[in-house]
Amino acid sequence: MSYFKDIPPIQYEGPDSDNEFAYRHYDPNEVVMGKRMEDHLRLAVAYWHSLAYEGGDPFGGRTFERPWYGDDMAAARVKADAAFDMFGVLNVPFFCFHDADVRPEGDSFAESRRNLEEICDVFADKMQQTGTKLLWGTANMFTHRRWMAGAATNPDPEIFAYAAATVKACMDVTHRLGGENYVLWGGREGYESLLNTDLTREAEQAGAFLTKVVDYKHKIGFKGTILIEPKPQEPSKHQYDFDVGTIYGFLKRFGLENEVKLNIEQGHAILAGHSFEHELALAGSLGLLGSIDMNRNDYQSGWDTDQFPNNVPEVALAYYEVLRAGGFTTGGTNFDARVRRQSLDPEDLVLSHVGAIDICARGLKAAAAMLENGGLEKMRAERYAGWDNEASQAMLKSESLDQIAARVEETNLNPQPRSGRQERLENWVSRFV
């Protein structure tokens, strides 16, 4: 019997509905800027948070009781049943998973791979039956003790080899399931102490590893996008994929900037000292915006708490940058978010997503309204209008520093500052959110 048997399928009932188990703002068929809302947001449930997480924190273990907990294939099958029941209740088009979320670890690499392939056969059948699609697959190379000093950046070449085999297996099943992206998040790719770390070697290893991943993608004809997910720290003290700007430098260094894009997470952006919209805008500007992990952190604790989003103004500014960059192609909105330790019930698991999905719908609609109004773009164009003439462009392209200096004195240049209008623009945004 389904774990979600007492919960009706969630449907759009409009903003005046009094039903807790309904969408008030997410209408998959509503057209926003010429596209269905479902096709804009491309929502995905994260297997690890919703099915594998047991309610633990650094001070205590499992609080949840789910019928699928266990480390054998029978439990993995019960978990898959519950997962697809939940996707159906929510009516989300996509899911995402790590290998370790969906299958038990085997006694050997080969057994782990066979377990993964067997459960992905189950997924393939369920995907066929339900129409649910895979937004992305990925490898968990951070939980098991073998990864404690990193995967691709490990000082031990045998770990590098095990990581390569692991990623190959995960890419294979992602490809077979029609996954639209493949993600690499390097939680252990970094260091705890510089005293025992050779930064130069570890960067070379990471570059060689990613090059092999890209080569293999082309070899098997995987048409999805390879994505790297930035995060500055946690679990490692310092992670190499610190933020968007850092990864851009890494990709340029190894000539991979046209092969790899980014999966950008709200909580990780905040940990890096940025806003989510900053990271999205920078990725958009660099042509690297791939997909997003939607969540939020607790603003007091400073930890990566992976909570569900609940702030429309923040989410609106995030989708504004997504829309400005042209919207998602292979990417989407993955809820990298989990219910809190005390939220024990199946209803909590479902309603957390319902609320977050409505927040995303409101954010998307506000972002589209801002973009269609054009107020911010008009202001920006006015602010930089001085550059839209031949003389200004010549200064950038051909004038030398001393020529510019001579001109400043000859023309007795005396520039006057102009208002940045920040509060007026904040007032303008508030009209939409």
Phi-psi region of 131 (alpha: psi -120 to 50; beta: other; left: phi over 0): left
Return the SS3 of 142.
coil
Is 243 among the residues that bind Mn ion (CB under 5 A)? no
Judged by CB, which is closer to Mn ion: 237, or 407? 237
Paired sense of beta strands 94-98 and 43-46, if any = parallel
Minimum distance between the CB of residue 234 and Mn ion, rounded to whole angstroms? Answer: 8
With beta carbons less than 8 A apart as the criterion, state whether 305 and 294 touch: no
Q: Is omega for the bond preceding 415 within 30 degrees of 0, making it cis?
A: no
Judged by CB, which is closer to Mn ion: 306, or 321? 306
Minimum distance between the CB of residue 398 and Mn ion, rounded to whole angstroms? Answer: 47
Judged by CB, which is closer to Mn ion: 332, or 346? 332
Judged by CB, which is closer to Mn ion: 305, or 330? 305
Minimum distance between the CB of residue 306 and Mn ion, rounded to whole angstroms? Answer: 4
Give the span between the Cα atoms of 340 and 355, in whole angstroms.
14
With beta carbons less than 8 A apart as the criterion, state whether 12 and 23 touch: yes
The binding track of 3-42 with respect to Mn ion, each residue x by CB under 5 A or -, is ----------------------------------------
The binding track of 305-324 with respect to Mn ion, each residue x by CB under 5 A or -, is -x------------------
Give the span between the Cα atoms of 43 and 96, in whole angstroms.
10
User: Which of these segments, 66-74, 94-102, 249-257, 265-273, binds Mn ion (CB under 5 A)?
Assistant: 265-273
Judged by CB, which is closer to Mn ion: 32, or 356? 356
Give the span between the Cα atoms of 250 and 243, in whole angstroms.
11
Is 230 among the residues that bind Mn ion (CB under 5 A)? no
Minimum distance between the CB of residue 14 and Mn ion, rounded to whole angstroms? Answer: 32
Which of 55, 187, 267, 290 binds Mn ion (CB under 5 A)? It is 267
Residues placed in the known binding site for Mg(2+)? 229, 265, 268, 293, 304, 306, 336
User: Residue 424 forms beta bridges with which residues?
Assistant: none
Place of tokens 């509905």: 17
User: Which of these segments, 78-86, 175-183, 206-214, 301-309, binds Mn ion (CB under 5 A)?
Assistant: 301-309
**How many Cβ atoms are within 10 Å of 147's Cβ, its own excluded?**
22
Minimum distance between the CB of residue 296 and Mn ion, rounded to whole angstroms? Answer: 9
Q: H or E segment at 423? A: helix 422-430
**How many Cβ atoms are within 10 Å of 373's Cβ, its own excluded?**
13
Minimum distance between the CB of residue 354 and Mn ion, rounded to whole angstroms? Answer: 21
Measured CA distances, 403 to 26, 119, 332, 387, 395 (Å): 57, 68, 49, 18, 9
Is 304 among the residues that bind Mn ion (CB under 5 A)? yes
Q: Which residues are catalytic?
A: 98, 101
The binding track of 410-429 with respect to Mn ion, each residue x by CB under 5 A or -, is --------------------
User: Which of these segments, 26-34, 264-272, 310-318, 358-366, binds Mn ion (CB under 5 A)?
Assistant: 264-272
Judged by CB, which is closer to Mn ion: 243, or 306? 306
Report CA torsion sign: 70, 73, 76, 77. negative
Half-sphere exposure at residue 135, Cβ-oriented, CA atoms within 13 angstroms: 29
Give the span between the Cα atoms of 5 and 1, in whole angstroms.
7
List of residues contacting Mn ion (CB under 5 A): 267, 304, 306
